Amino acid sequence: MRIWYLHPKYLDRQGLLAVWRETLLAQKVLKDETKGYHHHPQLTRLHPEPLSAVVTDLVTATTVAECRGYAFDHSRIGVGTTQVRLLVTRG
């Protein structure tokens, strides 16, 4: 599982698609809709509200994808979760 603290606008097509897929997987894990990955270190470092952080990443990736002419499926993004500001630390 790869969840990067890099704005999707800096990613090429393959990177953007990888972020979309991996972040959708993280959302499923956090919603208990899949087996495995529940204790993955990427999920524990996200944010105090990891599901909101994942939704924020998905919305951002979708916005960048649409600007490039791609059609990501908005219906796959969790409903009822608020977006949060993600803080990035060094190290």
- The rounded percent of the chain whose pLDDT value lies above 70 is 69
Q: Domain boundaries in the chain?
A: 8-76
**This model's pTM is above 0.85:** no
Report whether pLDDT(68) > 90: yes
- Which of 15-19, 25-29, 41-45, 48-52 is the most confident on average? 15-19
HEC sequence for the chain:
CCCCCCCHHHCCHHHHHHHHHHHHHHHHHHCCCCCCCCCCHHHHCCCCCHHHHHHHHHHHHHHHHHHCCCCCCHHHCCCCCCCCCCCCCCC
Cβ neighbors of 38 (< 8 A, separation 6 or more) are: 29
- The whole-number average pLDDT for the span 13-26 is 90
pLDDT at position 90 is 60
